[in-house]
Amino acid sequence: QKEVEQNSGPLSVPEGAIASLNCTYSDRGSQSFFWYRQYSGKSPELIMFIYSNGDKEDGRFTAQLNKASQYVSLLIRDSQPSDSATYLCAAEARTSYDKVIFGPGTSLSVIP
């Protein structure tokens, strides 16, 4: 069973701090990784995607991938109250390139 694991949280950080969200995956064949943000009752919204080992930065967001450790993370710098949401980590396997497997999500609360 291919799994994506995340701490469910809630993770609370003060406004302006760095929020660090972590994810591990079980399928070594996974090639592509995605971070989605989901507000309560809304659909997942793509934040970042990463394919290569290392860091990828986009504005206040940095995704980090370590395939050897099967670990993906998302850093949010200068956290804002509007960042309060559930963050979904997702992995796509090369052998099953169609399907994206989602983790359960980490709830982030940014305290003003």
Q: Could you tell me the smallest distance in angstroms from the CB atom of residue 94 to other proteins?
A: 9
Closest CA to 51 of 22, 94, 88: 94
Please identify which residue in 45, 55, 58, 78 interacts with other proteins, judged by CB under 8 A. 45
Q: How far apart are the first and last CA of the chain?
A: 40
Site for other proteins in 84-103 (CB under 8 A): 88, 90, 96-103
Task: Choose, by CB under 8 A, the member of 32, 70, 75, 109 that binds other proteins.
Answer: 32
For residues 46 and 36, the answer to whether their CB atoms sit within 8 Å is yes
Nearest to residue 33, comparing CAs of 12, 9, 63?
63
Instruction: Note whether 51 binds other proteins by CB under 8 A.
Output: yes
Residues that bind other proteins (CB under 8 A): 31-32, 34, 36, 42-46, 49, 51, 88, 90, 96-105
